[in-house]
Structure 1
Amino acid sequence: MANPQKQYMEFHTNIRLGRYDEENTLREKRDLLIDTLKNELKKDPSGPQFLESFNQGSYALGTGIKPKEGDYDIDVGVLLDCDKDSYCPVEIKKIVAEALEHNNRTLNIRKPCVTVTYIKNGQPDYHVDLPIYAEDTNQNMYLARGKEHSSAEFKVWDISNPTELTETILDKFKGDARSQFRRCTRYLKQWRNEKNNLAFFKSIAITSAIYEYLDSSDYENDNNTILSLVNSFLDNFIHYSIDEETSQTYFRLVINLPAHEGVDLLENLTKNQMDILKNRLEELKNSLEQVNEESDTVEACKVLNRTFGSQFPIPEINQVSESTPEAIYIQDGKSA
């Protein structure tokens, strides 16, 4: 049985968001925006004031991958000192967007955040997502949700705890386990990006599912680990549901958000989307099993190249031997 672990590690290096040019630029954009926001909000002492900012999402977890279209991003939570009951969440986001207006960037009020995009040669180059939060008297954090033209029921303050989410996920995995968690998360994000009709399978859902199902002590065979994860995904299509439009019955996958009891990240997926996800996962399972059945590393890598895309390397015949290649480990670190 071939074990293309060396090629998996090269693949991880190929897709992993770098710690140097890209991350330094993202940090510079983040720091500039936060400084600007602090200073602009101070000009109106009676309005919302800046309290703190914190990294969240893939940047905080160290699970970022290089974007397919080159539009690098970072999630930076912003906690404001304001009474959420006195402000519509979209009103708060408009205040933030207006404070950050500048001629070299565009601002967009999206449902979960304010997105600041930097343009280069007429194309998006980098963007910073700024989810906006407020606290109640018990220090519970609430996320401002809603877009400018959303109906009233979609303009809400949702209870949320992003820093606890990051801590919960990272506290579960230490050492080699954390490195493998990050690798597997990146692999599945890249796989998702290679499939044209899987955009609805969001990164936070992938990350949370791996948090739930990753249980491996074999750090030298990522193919087996990914296969085990995919089997767990498929085994958990057990939640009975009825399609509202067709009244057809079907089974769906539930992925719960860590540290947020009762939050199903796939709750809004339709029957058709669930069917697509299940079919794609079954295709992935078949490919990974085919790799395990291969005795030739080159042929195994050809399967993985078709599965994960051109970033997965196919070695020359003279680069592999009959023996199982040893895993190559690199310092994982925390990157975007």
Structure 2
Amino acid sequence: MANCQKLFDEFLEKLDIVDSKTTSMRTSKDNLKDKIVSYFQKNHSEYTPEFFIQGSYKMGTSIRTKDDECDLDLGVYIKPKPDVSAATLQQWVFDAVDGTTSATPSKKNKCIRIKYSAGYHIDLPIYRKDKTGDEIPELAIKSVGFEKSDAKGIVEWFNGKKKDNSQLVHLIKYLKAWADNIRESMPPGLAWTIMTVKNQKKKDGRDDIALRDTLKEILSSLEDRFECKVPAEPFDDIFDNYSDDKKNKIKEYLQKFIDDATKAINEPNEKKASRIWQKHLGSRFPEGEDKDNETQSKLNALRDSILSKTARVGTTGAFGALTTGVAGATHTNFGD
């Protein structure tokens, strides 16, 4: 069996957002906050905007996509509750940030998106909340109006789950990278986060085995009931509107990944194993050395037994770390 943990560690580094881009995103985020505050002071002074970084960036599960893109979610909370439609509230924030970049902001159903030429975008989900802040905020959704949505609650839920569990974050990043590599029919990152939390199988020091076993648990849970409920308001099912074809496609992708992950884990040659992982995780997954890990382990054990004077000759003439047989002569040739 090839132990590819070193390759998975290198892969995690390749998924990380580089420091220069992180700095740029933070600067852009602060600039957007200033623009929104200034706009409301001039045009709607009776309301005060507040901000909360949320989503994968806040949870520490962000990755760079294979196109070298990344994103940040900046929640915009307007209080006290404006007595306007969700579309109007979105329009106010759109007007506040329009002109920030050369590209016109996009009006998504649940946010305003600003794309930057440096290879990232910032999403602005917009909420209204009561003055005291005691109630669950209401998200402005262009197509349906306002809906209670506790983005902070999701972050708090996840932070409680990842405490003393670094492998959980690793697994989520691998699954998001896999989904990004395939893209077609794949659920959003939040779905993979929720499913990984609920179905994680740990294996200390072996992310490859933990990933394969977690995939098995996810598939088993979806075979039982194809749902993924958000663990905070509005407690909705992310898969609620998925067609049967899309559900079946997701399960097919899972099964293929499970089958190949098992092959990679059982493959003794590190290079061959890494190429199997690359089929699903993409070309950024490092290529291993053309060596047989199992054979190398046996050679290492033989070396250690010789140096520790525990090597023996068996009845067949085999020499190695045996429990019976004739003890080998003391090894004294340690080199210069």
Cα deviation for residue 131 of structure 1 reads: 0.5
Tell me, in whole angstroms, the C-alpha distance in 1 between the residues paired with 2:257 and 2:76: 38
Q: Deviations over 1:38-74 (max 9, x none)?
A: 0111012455321x21111111011111123333321
Q: Deviations over 1:116-159 (max 9, x none)?
A: 12246xxxx3311001111246422111111xxxxxxx232111
Tell me, in whole angstroms, the C-alpha distance in 2 between the residues paired with 1:258 and 1:55: 18
* Letter of the structure 2 residue corresponding to residue 322 of structure 1: Q
Cα deviation for residue 258 of structure 1 reads: 1.8
Tell me, in whole angstroms, the C-alpha distance in 2 between the residues paired with 1:68 and 1:82: 41
Cα deviation for residue 173 of structure 1 reads: 2.0
One of 93, 114, 118 as aligned partner of 1:116: 114
Tell me, in whole angstroms, the C-alpha distance in 2 between the residues paired with 1:253 and 1:323: 42
Give the corresponding residue for 1:299: 272
Cα deviation for residue 103 of structure 1 reads: 5.8
One of 94, 99, 102 as aligned partner of 1:97: 94
Structure 1 residue runs without a partner (length 5+): 147-153, 240-251, 325-336
Instruction: Tell me the secondary structure at the aligned position of residue 67 of structure 1.
Output: coil
Instruction: Tell me the secondary structure at the aligned position of residue 133 of structure 1.
Output: strand
One of 38, 54, 57 as aligned partner of 1:59: 57
Tell me, in whole angstroms, the C-alpha distance in 1 between the residues paired with 2:179 and 2:231: 21
Q: Deviations over 1:53-109 (max 9, x none)?
A: 11111110111111233333211111111425x211111010011011216342111
- 1:249-268 matches, within 5 Å, as 253-260=226-233, 262-268=235-241
Tell me, in whole angstroms, the C-alpha distance in 2 between the residues paired with 1:172 and 1:118: 33
One of 126, 134, 139 as aligned partner of 2:135: 139
Give the corresponding residue for 2:193: 207
Aligned residues: 294
Tell me, in whole angstroms, the C-alpha distance in 1 between the residues paired with 2:31 and 2:135: 27
Structure 2 residue runs without a partner (length 5+): 299-336
Tell me, in whole angstroms, the C-alpha distance in 1 between the residues paired with 2:274 and 2:223: 33
Q: Does 1:315 align with 2:302?
A: no
Give yes or no for contact 2:71–2:122 (8 Å, CA) kept in 1: yes
Alignment CA distance shift 1:185-1:67 (3 Å): same
* Letter of the structure 2 residue corresponding to residue 224 of structure 1: I
Give yes or no for contact 2:269–2:290 (8 Å, CA) kept in 1: no
Tell me, in whole angstroms, the C-alpha distance in 1 between the residues paired with 2:3 and 2:292: 14
Give the corresponding residue for 1:186: 173
Tell me, in whole angstroms, the C-alpha distance in 2 between the residues paired with 1:265 and 1:182: 21
Give the corresponding residue for 2:333: none
Give the corresponding residue for 2:155: 166
Tell me, in whole angstroms, the C-alpha distance in 2 between the residues paired with 1:255 and 1:104: 36
Alignment CA distance shift 1:258-1:215 (3 Å): farther
Instruction: Tell me the secondary structure at the aligned position of residue 253 of structure 1.
Output: coil
Cα deviation for residue 260 of structure 1 reads: 3.6
Tell me, in whole angstroms, the C-alpha distance in 2 between the residues paired with 1:43 and 1:196: 42
Alignment CA distance shift 1:91-1:115 (3 Å): same
- 1:282-297 matches, within 5 Å, as 282-297=255-270
Tell me, in whole angstroms, the C-alpha distance in 1 between the residues paired with 2:216 and 2:38: 51
Alignment CA distance shift 1:83-1:260 (3 Å): closer
One of 145, 148, 157 as aligned partner of 1:156: 145
Give the corresponding residue for 2:85: 88
State which structure, 1 or 2, has the greater radius of gyration over its C-alpha atoms.
2
Cα deviation for residue 287 of structure 1 reads: 0.9
Cα RMSD of the aligned pairs, angstroms, is 2.1
Give yes or no for contact 1:16–1:186 (8 Å, CA) kept in 2: no
Q: Deviations over 1:199-247 (max 9, x none)?
A: 4x1111011111211242x2301111111211111111345xxxxxxxx
230-239 or 165-174: which moved more? 230-239
Q: Deviations over 1:239-289 (max 9, x none)?
A: 5xxxxxxxxxxxx52112123474211111111100100000000000111
Q: Does 1:130 align with 2:124?
A: yes
Give yes or no for contact 1:26–1:74 (8 Å, CA) kept in 2: yes
Instruction: Tell me the secondary structure at the aligned position of residue 297 of structure 2.
Output: coil
Give yes or no for contact 2:272–2:290 (8 Å, CA) kept in 1: no
20-29 or 189-198: which moved more? 189-198
Question: Percent identity of the aligned residues?
Answer: 24
Give yes or no for contact 2:72–2:122 (8 Å, CA) kept in 1: yes
